[in-house]
Chain A
Amino acid sequence: MFSIALRIILYDKVRTLITLIGVVFAVALIFAQIGIYLGLMETASLIIDRTPGDIWITSKNNRNFDFSMPFPELKINRVLTAEGVKNAEKLIVTWGVIKQPQGGTEQVEIVGYNPDTGIGGPWEMKAGDVRDVKSGNYIIVDASSMKRLGMLEKGDHREIMSRRLKVVGISQSVKSFTTAPIVFTSYKTAQHIGGYVGEGETVFIIANVFDGYPVKDVVERLREALPGLDVYSKDEFSKKTRLYWTIETGVGFSFLITILISFFIGMLIVGQMIYNSTVEYLKEFGTLKAIGAANIDIYKIIFSEALINAILGYVISLMLTLASVKVYKTTEMVFTINTEVAALVFLITLVMCVFSAFISVRKIRRIDPALVFRG
């Protein structure tokens, strides 16, 4: 029956073209929405995911990476003495305003890390070294921030919250979901910028666990030892941050709505085209029933048509999406397309097209057998 469906599709070239355009647009839109959403979520938890640390300790009821309350840094001693903890490091994430040389300001997200270990600092340097922020008013800015902060180079100076800082390095691939440029500095300097985090305070403690100790058990132990703080495994905190931006900001909902709309538009287009084709071939399908085809044989033709449209439409959309990844990169947007996304969208496309074929099933079931004898 597949070959008959294929022949019908090849015979009705104009209808096939219109159907394919519909499927391609719907699927490409689904690809784009999922790719952009995942790209945004990737940036939302990027520093958590790229920082070598098994456990993240934050203030109580903290909801994400970007907006966290400070707490006493002495708590690190309780962390270090907990069974299974190999090492622990403090990290500050705070906000500041940077003055632009031509006037005006930009809000920046400041990340203060220990330059000796580099934990929480940039992981890919274009110029300079992660240790260069040590012992002074130094910063590392990310290459992706240049559009917002101007073309900075090593040796340039900028003022953040009335403190003059020297650019000692340029990092790469560090972006924030908030779209604010990320500026790295030393832990000590971050404590004194802006006044949000005070002397003797930190925003996060990142701990690593000895080999052989299950992270889950150490997390439980730290939760008992630090009742005033929240303790998460790296994965938990990454998910919590992504979930915050997905649910609390409505970003996830708006992406979901667009994906659903694309799905239904695609389903309507394919459904209408297959239905039209079914109506046009009603007499021929009636003839097939008369010459011995069971309803199931004709359903197979209809569903094969849907399947062929799905596969062709998907392949074209995938090629267009892969080609457009470069375009996304030029706009500094993170677009995530991987095997899992491709498989998910393929599944969505199949469901979309196969469900659309159900519109025609009722028509087939009710074909009047006497139809075949009408001239």
Chain B
Amino acid sequence: METAIEVENLRKVYKEGRVEVVAVDSISLSIYKREVVGILGPSGSGKTTLLSMMGCILRPTGGNIRIHGEDVSNLSEHILPYIRRKYFGFIFQGFNLMPPLTALENVKLPLKFKGVPENDAEKESSHLLRRVGLNERVNFLPRDLSGGEKQRVAIARALAGDPPIILADEPTGNLDHKSGSHVVGLLRELVTTNNSCAIIVTHDSRIFHSLDRVFHIEDGRLKT
């Protein structure tokens, strides 16, 4: 199996006044292509910090991260947006859609940052919205969409530009059971079709059965 993302002795220490708080403590793990894995743990266990570091949003205090074999641990701040554009699609618990933009325009955003020409971006975004079943909602503003629909727009946005890794933070946290199952099913289907992988941080026990592997984190450490 080909490795998509590999972390080695990853560490994150925050300073709160004079006190040092270890949020992630020497975590090592590998995630492979076509996998849907879960990161579980109680609140404050460090799972979101781990996800942020794997997504090159937060810089680690120590350790290494390799994405498709490329070491991204010590890259400068100016390079990181490029790395995020190249490798990742993000899904957030609160959807984080731009309220003034339509579903289509929200999906087009990552393509804009990648420099995809307007016409191509429009075609790809429409295709992705069709794929998540929102072809009737392309010109709707987020305020006019249901929670499940918003999350599907967020998924379509995460898939724009075919990123090899999807990072999802509590993607079913704000959804009912039916919508939640639909979202995970959708992710599984897309990962398989795109030869990508998905890493899901979740509390939601209802989706455990849909995951290939699960990592448990407690107090910043991986539990075996």
Task: Identify the A interface with B (CB < 8 A).
Answer: 4, 7-8, 10-12, 281, 283-284, 286-294, 297, 369-370, 372-375
Given contacts A289-B81, A369-B57, A372-B57, contact A284 B98 (CB under 8 A): yes
Given contacts A4-B98, A370-B49, A375-B170, contact A290 B113 (CB under 8 A): no
Measured between beta carbons, the chain A residues less than 8 angstroms from B100 are 4, 7-8, 10-12
Q: Does B58 contact A (CB under 8 A)?
A: yes
Chain A contact residues: helix, strand, loop or mixed: helix
Closest to A295 in B: B81
Whether A290 and B101, one on each chain, are in contact in the complex, defined by CB atoms closer than 8 angstroms, is no
Given contacts A292-B81, A370-B57, A375-B173, contact A287 B96 (CB under 8 A): yes
Query: Count of chain B residues with Cβ under 8 Å from any Cβ of A?
Result: 35
Whether A375 and B93, one on each chain, are in contact in the complex, defined by CB atoms closer than 8 angstroms, is yes
Whether A291 and B52, one on each chain, are in contact in the complex, defined by CB atoms closer than 8 angstroms, is no
Task: Identify the B interface with A (CB < 8 A).
Answer: 48-49, 51-52, 55, 57-58, 78, 81-82, 84-85, 88-90, 92-94, 96-101, 105, 109-110, 113-114, 157-158, 169-170, 173-174
A274 vs chain B, min Cβ distance (A): 15
Measured between beta carbons, the chain A residues less than 8 angstroms from B114 are 292
Measured between beta carbons, the chain B residues less than 8 angstroms from A370 are 48-49, 52, 57-58
Closest to A291 in B: B110
Whether A290 and B48, one on each chain, are in contact in the complex, defined by CB atoms closer than 8 angstroms, is no
Pick the residue among B49, B105, B157, B169 that contacts A291 (CB under 8 A): B157
Measured between beta carbons, the chain B residues less than 8 angstroms from A375 are 93-94, 170, 173-174
A4 vs chain B, min Cβ distance (A): 7
What separation, in Å, do the CA atoms of A291 and B101 have in the docked complex? 16
What separation, in Å, do the CA atoms of A12 and B78 have in the docked complex? 32
Measured between beta carbons, the chain A residues less than 8 angstroms from B55 are 290
Measured between beta carbons, the chain A residues less than 8 angstroms from B85 are 291-292
The 8 nearest A-B residue pairs measured at CB: A292-B85, A11-B100, A287-B96, A369-B57, A7-B100, A294-B81, A292-B113, A292-B84
Residue from B49, B58, B100, B170 whose CB has the most chain A CB atoms within 10 Å: B100
